[in-house]
Structure 1
């Protein structure tokens, strides 16, 4: 129940294209759409969307986005087979 002068539980409406962090998982992505009470968020480098409740969403800061991109690059390079350097 909200009383005057208190913060609402979910004051932020997220817009498509905003970069957010899923506080549950630490994943960073781009808001794609809202379906009912959940937002659909896609990884920065593309891929499968996942659903996030707005109470678990926070604005991603630049270091979040950079860490996410670096993790994806590391994952891709470690999964490459047959490479000889």
Structure 2
């Protein structure tokens, strides 16, 4: 057996809290990094909401346009009374 075949890639280092990230496993959902939960990372929607966990391999930094889109969607939902 090749030793390289059994070696798994190490997870990336966690970013600073509140760093905007994109969860590519959930239709490019944008969230802020909240912390590490075992082997997974916790993200929270920009502007607040229920946190979710994601495998760090499915996360990338959010582009400025993605951050703006997420903040605008949250503000619109708030103006409609859908969220506090």
Same topology, TM > 0.5: yes
* Structure 2 residue corresponding to 1:38, chosen from 37, 40, 45: 40
- Report the Cα distance in structure 2 between the residues aligned to 1:2 and 1:58, rounded to whole angstroms: 29
Which deviations, in whole Å up to 9, do the C-alpha atoms of 1:34-71 show, x marking residues without a partner?
A: 01111001111011111011111011111110010111
1:83 is matched with which residue? none
TM-score by length of 1: 0.72
Q: Which has the higher helix share?
A: 2
User: Bigger radius of gyration, 1 or 2?
Assistant: 1
Q: Residue 11 of structure 1: CA displacement? A: 5.2
TM-score by length of 2: 0.72
- Report the Cα distance in structure 2 between the residues aligned to 1:2 and 1:20, rounded to whole angstroms: 33
| 8 Å CA contact retained: 2:22, 2:60 | yes
The DSSP-based 3-state class of the residue aligned with 2:47 is coil
Q: Which consecutive residues of structure 1, in runs of 5 or more, have no partner in the other structure? A: 81-85
